Chains A and B, each alone.
Chain A
Amino acid sequence: MDGGSDSMSVLLNATFLATLLAAGVRMTIPILLPAVGEIFAERSGILNINLEGQMLIGAFCSFVVSYYTHSLLLSLLVGAASGVLLAMLMAVCCVRWHCNHCVIGITLNMFSLGFTSFWYRVIYGVTTAPPKADVSSGMVAIPGLSKIPFLGEILFQQNFLFYLSLVIVAVSFYILHKTQFGLKIRATGEYPRAAETMGVNVSRIQVISMAICGSLAGMGGSFLSLISLNRFVDNITASRGFIALAIVIFGKWEPWKVLLASLLFGTIDALQLRLQAVGVDAPYQLLSMLPYLLTIFVMIFTAKRSHSPAALGENYEREQV
């Protein structure tokens, strides 16, 4: 009982709360980026179950580049590019070869898992001291704002990728709702035949949306290997791609709502890690389970009221003349 009350008092401590929330904001990045990408894919009608694989490939490729170049920016770019490559493979299979989105996505996930662990072992072998991603941490304190007590530490002494994610959320909202391109994406996902009648090139819109998705997923994965863990391990993503899929549903395919949902999940993830570190009177397994349990509950409570794009997961056949 004593252990319990001790940890309670630690929990209520303001410093602890600030570090917790700051970590929560940090853990938001690898869920938010892929989730925003998935909005583009799903809004264009492609159910990109391969999100997990795109993150994994991104995490791996960026790690390899960071190992040899020590450049954070270059590694991130390569991570994003590798995500795009895999997304293009998925897009070709769906758009051109008309494969079932779910089935091909699952298969490509398995492929990415095999591919990354194969090459990791080939390049680095099995060692007791795993190689580290030796890059700058990318932490940026925003002058002035970071000095605000409490809030400054949480929001303005963050990884630059967090600021970038916020920009991406805003830009995504703008693209989807205020530009013609965004209208084309939404039309493609809702009613591709009508979109095509209006002169939209459905396949091209879907391929471009998948490219956007792949780059963001690749970047999200890169964050995990470069910054979060500082190294690569097999299956480093641990189904974060699937949590991101759930968050897109939770966030009703809207960038701002997805941002809020990701913040919630990031904080829960940080909370369970902190609680484990503090040594709360609970088995670590039950704490590690929290993000996954939360995903289940969130799905149960929101899936019914959210309406997916009407043509999500369906392959579009052009009418033959």
Chain B
Amino acid sequence: MIKTPMTWNNSRISKTVLSFLIAFAAAFLFSILFIAALGVNPFVAYGKLIAGAFGRTSSIFEILAKATPLTIMGLGVSIGLRGGFSNLGGDGQFYVGALSSVCIGLYLPQTIPAPVIWLLAILTALVSGGLYGGLAGYCKTRFNTNEVIITIMMNYVAQYVVSWLVSGPLQAPGGIPQTKALAAAYTIPKLLSGTRAHWGIMLALALVFLVSFLFKRTILGFRIEALGASPAAAKYAGINSKLYTALILALSGGFCGLAGMIEVYGTYYRVLDGITTSFGFTAMLIALLAQLNPFGIFLGSIFISILTVGANSMQIALNIPTSIVNVIQSLIIIFILIMPSVTTRLADRHRRRLDGRGE
């Protein structure tokens, strides 16, 4: 899939930083063209974006709140990519995890202390999201199906099933398609009352370290990367590729399910129709942006959240649609993707020119 660096030396890091800077600059230049085409001064627009993102305490906490599920899903997607699989089913797994975990909080006896409920909900979300993702992995090994198509189709299945459940069997009284709300005691406390960020971000950070540890220090992580680097070689090395395919997608799906649980217990307190808006695709872009580095995924989630929060106030103030965020982030990644090939070609050309001069 993507060639992941096993080691980072100084020249690699400086090259990466350089190509990132170029990619960001190029993408922002393009978006400036977009904004200028609307007859808005791009500097005013980006001023609004930055003011909107950092202007108030609440907006800064809003960034953290948005980054929490994105980080967890980005980590999940990155596990898949390291193993060589594009898990685009993040949204479906998110729905499954959100719905199954909300049932834990809603339908178990309300006398159970909150930490126990949280633990059970986390486990449920991990298992249900993992099963949903693992099912795609199983289909891949058993029936040779393309995981991209299957996971995208499974998104729709999950989305429609949840939509049906929250407007039918599990609907709260009141006519709005949503489940009942969790008891206040079961919600994850806010970092600062009156803002939207919650302690779930600590779990996201812990997972960043966990995934980093997984790929740096454990056999499991090594095997996942080996399978991603070369399925044939991994097979010769005695790695059960069928088992690991299912396992990788199950792990990936488990993380996405967990993101659903965190979002429900930390932000919405219930499951409603359309609770995720293409988080799965955004998480994919973040994982690519971070070149699958776990810490990079956290930073990338913060970055995308800054753009999203800032773009909201840019839309309100200057009538610039928020979808510009999608354009910017995909442009950055396109530039990052073509950068290595462009630089090698330029270097080649340079060398050939030198050769031509007989040096």
Contact = CB atoms under 8 A, between A and B. Distances in A.
Interface of A: 49, 93, 96-100, 102-104, 106-111, 113-115, 117-118, 121-122, 239, 242-243, 245-246, 249, 283, 285-286, 288-289, 292-293, 295-296, 299-301, 303-304
B330 A289 contact: no
Contacts of B144: 303-304
- What are the 8 A-B residue pairs with the smallest beta carbon separation, nearest first? A114-B326, A111-B330, A285-B164, A292-B156, A121-B321, A114-B327, A285-B160, A97-B338
B324 A118 contact: yes
Given A97-B342, A285-B161, A110 B330 contact: yes
A49 B338 contact: no
A103 B325 contact: no
A104 B86 CA distance: 12
Interface string B285-303: 1001000000000000000
Given A107-B285, A122-B38, A303-B143, A296 B333 contact: no
A110 B143 contact: no
9 contacts: A103-B288, A106-B88, A107-B288, A110-B281, A111-B326, A242-B148, A242-B149, A242-B153, A286-B161
Interface in B188-246: none
Nearest to A239: B152
Contacts of A96: 341
Given A100-B1, A285-B161, A299-B146, A93 B334 contact: yes
A114 B34 CA distance: 12
A155 B324 CA distance: 43
Nearest to A52: B152
Contacts of B334: 93, 104, 107-108, 111
Secondary structure call for the B interface: helix
Q: Which of A49, A242, A243 has the largest number of chain B CB atoms within 10 A?
A: A242
A288 B324 CA distance: 30
A246 B342 contact: no
Contact of B157 (A107, A117, A296, A300): A296
Given A296-B150, A299-B139, A300-B145, 11 more contacts: A97-B337, A102-B86, A117-B321, A118-B324, A242-B153, A245-B146, A285-B164, A289-B157, A292-B156, A296-B157, A303-B144
B331 interface: yes
Given A99-B341, A118-B34, A110 B285 contact: yes
The DSSP consensus for interface residues of chain A is: helix
A115 B33 CA distance: 13
B2 interface: yes
A113 B323 CA distance: 8
A289 B157 CA distance: 6
Nearest to A235: B278
Contacts of A107: 285, 288, 330, 333-334, 337
B143 to A, nearest CB: 5
A308 to B, nearest CB: 9
Nearest to B140: A303
A103 B327 contact: no
Output the residue of A113, A114, A246 with the most chain B CB within 10 A: A114
B55 interface: no
A121 B284 CA distance: 25
Given A289-B157, A303-B143, A245 B149 contact: yes
A292 B157 contact: yes
A118 B326 CA distance: 9
Given A49-B148, A245-B149, A303-B145, A110 B337 contact: no
Given A106-B88, A107-B288, A300 B168 contact: no
Given A98-B341, A289-B160, A106 B326 contact: no
B59 interface: no
Interface string B310-326: 00000000000101111
A96 B278 CA distance: 30
A307 B340 CA distance: 32
Given A107-B285, A118-B324, A246 B337 contact: no
A110 B281 CA distance: 8
Given A110-B329, A300-B139, A286 B149 contact: no
Contacts of A108: 330, 334
B339 to A, nearest CB: 9
Contacts of B342: 97
Contact of B338 (A99, A283, A289, A304): A99
B143 A93 contact: no
B73 interface: no
B154 interface: yes
Nearest to B177: A285
Nearest to B162: A285
B163 interface: yes
Nearest to A238: B156
